[in-house]
A and B are shown apart, each in its own frame.
Chain A
């Protein structure tokens, strides 16, 4: 049994690694076929204006425009193994440094929103499931539908408008206060700057997990076990938290792991709105500015998160299945 699990785990891990390799290949190929000339997008117009042809040739060298693609790909792969993702063209720093800097800003944001959307989603989903077809359910369902029809960046915009522009409760952008030496920045200030982006980001993830949990909850509510408990006169609160929670939590966590991709996608848009200097904003700038090494680096790192999340979700699925079987047996007897 243990051996079997270990074997399965090993296979899943191997598969994740293979996927990651494929991701490397695909994303690299995509940048190779791009017709975009990094030179013209990166060096401003007036600067190119005061440049001689020799100079421009020298620049082409610097931007690696004269090396064949397969060679560059192998170089890049070799670098990855050594933890070297190349040098960002726009920042003129190692990509790993740039990414670390940006990630340290985004990390807080991502983790908070991940947790908040999970907690809120589970709670709302349980309430909706428990009060199926009654008022709370209707409100929550409509809310979820509206929310998932609304672009995340617009939600972010409206939040920015209300809380920063009108109420002035929160700063309009950035991850730290203006003009303060790094050592003097307090955690509270950091959090204050992350609250709105995190709220906007959580909101975008909450709908799917709520609906998912709601369904699971309906299932649970219909199980003999709960019917029996209710017949015995157990209160709703107790049912929800002693029986409901334990049954919906694992599926919810699984789903949350599987939706890392959405979370990161959302952060790309939300960071743009809040001019929050994180990974997502860096990815957009790299995409628009033609900074290929940075764009690839960010793709790679975020793909590790996503694939890791998917792997975690898969492992959790494996855990759910036997347990469900066992539970059915229990409820039958």
Chain B
């Protein structure tokens, strides 16, 4: 009797519980039901799991940060976001080649008007979207207008409007001259006007080399070759991207589950049987800013400037007082190159930015600036101790280690340097008065502008207080230049024109330290096509040309 009652109670409890649960999830089920892409159905029929390396499949492990959370929508940053790369699923008007010069994808010719305010681009006529519709100038204009209106991650304010004048010609009307527009065109994937809505990012339709077959959010993306692609057919039929933390990626390589696993310098010494280390040079740089004005409080209460780093000799001393090779050996286990600017090796890089490590000269510069060694070994001037706190974004262990090592090196100069992790919500404001460990490096000279050009409102540069009229002028001229070649020269002059600039001889408001090699464990037998210099972000850049990768047949 009692036993039965207990059973009944138990059942009732379970029922009540599950009823509650189903009631809550029912509403959501309806929403999810029509998303066949993400719905999970299990079938009994599947045989053994898919062989690990088929001849035309490649599995790449990437950082979870590389996953485009808002989907594969160029308007919301896919390809053209913080981390720039080719959008694969969509085509772009132009492309950048291995030397980061401009080539054509959809475009067949382009022209800029005398005043720099009108760009006319002709596009190819044999491109189709994967739903069979033809890609026209109308789609291009739609995409750019959409980018201008709603891009949540990229700046398109220089574009007034895009207009399709005929089936295959699109005209961009600009608000201001923008000579480097082709670099913007290289990352903006073209979306179909007829199939674009809010949910586009979940099931994108494009004209690129690959189609999105499946996306398990937080886990993996499966891309299959586009059979109707207008260009050369991809060699890799299927590309699987899995998103894992560095340690999981290494484990996956050890278990032979992936063909390419991104990795960090701290793991690079691991021996993974059947894999070898593949290293890509980058402009993914790390460096810190030195506020170049005296400490002051603005009207809104923000503190800017730093009395110690306001002295140019102090900044110069720091620039040559840090042994970049030591950083590379200590933190990157040798997998990096010294950085001397935000754009090393780019067509617009001024070669004279390079400096040699020289501790004595650095000491002398500091002495000259009036900062003398005190009794405790710390420099001081007028009773003030020379101190710096290098902030780094919490959660980035490489920047943390670089900041710590820099602090250790600065101590040798007699500067009381420490490091501290901060969140991004705090970091920007902090950087106005203290050094912050940044990471930059993009395939566009616009970055120079963003870092060094003054802001009309404040009269100072955006991220770290600094102002130079000459530097501003050169950069303004560069944007108005008639040709890219001409603009490159002006960008270089902005860095150093023989008299002033932002290099060691100049004002040196930022200290550039290292370019971090992007490292991968690659399964033996996989041929990865030559890479262009990777930009900031250890993510999708590696698969820019995944269509040209191939398997060596010897292993089978």
Interface residues, chain A, with chain B CB atoms under 8 Å away: 35-37, 40-41, 43-55, 58-59, 62, 83, 90-94, 96-104, 164-165, 168, 171-187, 189-190, 246, 249-250, 253, 257, 275, 277, 281-282, 290, 301, 304-305, 308-309, 312, 315-316, 319
Interface residues, chain B, with chain A CB atoms under 8 Å away: 2-3, 6, 9-10, 13, 16-17, 20-21, 24-25, 27-29, 31-32, 35, 38-44, 46, 49-50, 57, 59, 64, 69-71, 73, 76-77, 81-83, 151-157, 199, 201-202, 213-214, 216-220, 222, 240, 242, 244-245, 247-248, 251-252, 255, 257-258, 393, 423-425, 427-428, 438-440, 442, 444, 446-447, 450-451, 457, 462-463, 536-537
A275 touches B248 (CB 8 A): yes
Per the bound structure, the CA–CA distance linking A98 and B202 in Å amounts to 12
Residues of A within 8 A of B9 (CB): 250, 316, 319
Per the bound structure, the CA–CA distance linking A101 and B32 in Å amounts to 8
Residue ID in chain B nearest A59 by CB atoms: B152
How far in angstroms is the closest Cβ of chain A from B85? 13
Q: Is the interface of A mostly helix, strand, loop or mixed?
A: helix
Per the bound structure, the CA–CA distance linking A187 and B44 in Å amounts to 8
B202 touches A93 (CB 8 A): yes
How far in angstroms is the closest Cβ of chain B from A108? 11
B240 touches A47 (CB 8 A): no
Per the bound structure, the CA–CA distance linking A133 and B498 in Å amounts to 88
Residues of B within 8 A of A185 (CB): 40, 42, 46
Per the bound structure, the CA–CA distance linking A109 and B443 in Å amounts to 44
A178 touches B82 (CB 8 A): no
Residue ID in chain A nearest B442 by CB atoms: A46
- By CB atoms of chain A within 10 A, which of B69, B438, B442 has the most? B69
Within 8 Å by CB of B16, from A180, A246, A312, lies A312
How far in angstroms is the closest Cβ of chain B from A97? 5
Within 8 Å by CB of A172, from B202, B248, B438, lies B248
Query: Known contacts A172-B248, A172-B251: does B155 contact A51 (CB below 8 Å)?
Result: yes
A47-B77, A179-B220, A189-B49 known; 13 other A-B pairs, CB under 8 Å?
A46-B83, A51-B155, A55-B151, A92-B71, A93-B199, A97-B28, A98-B217, A172-B247, A175-B219, A176-B220, A182-B38, A250-B9, A253-B13
B28 touches A177 (CB 8 A): no
Residues of B within 8 A of A304 (CB): 20, 24
Within 8 Å by CB of B31, from A94, A165, A246, lies A94
How far in angstroms is the closest Cβ of chain B from A134? 28
Residue ID in chain B nearest A90 by CB atoms: B69
- By CB atoms of chain B within 10 A, which of A104, A172, A189 has the most? A172
How far in angstroms is the closest Cβ of chain A from B39? 7
B82 touches A44 (CB 8 A): yes
Residue ID in chain A nearest B29 by CB atoms: A100
Per the bound structure, the CA–CA distance linking A311 and B132 in Å amounts to 55
Residue ID in chain A nearest B444 by CB atoms: A50
Within 8 Å by CB of B217, from A45, A101, A173, A257, lies A101
How far in angstroms is the closest Cβ of chain A from B432? 14
How far in angstroms is the closest Cβ of chain B from A220? 13
How far in angstroms is the closest Cβ of chain A from B300? 15
Residue ID in chain B nearest A34 by CB atoms: B425
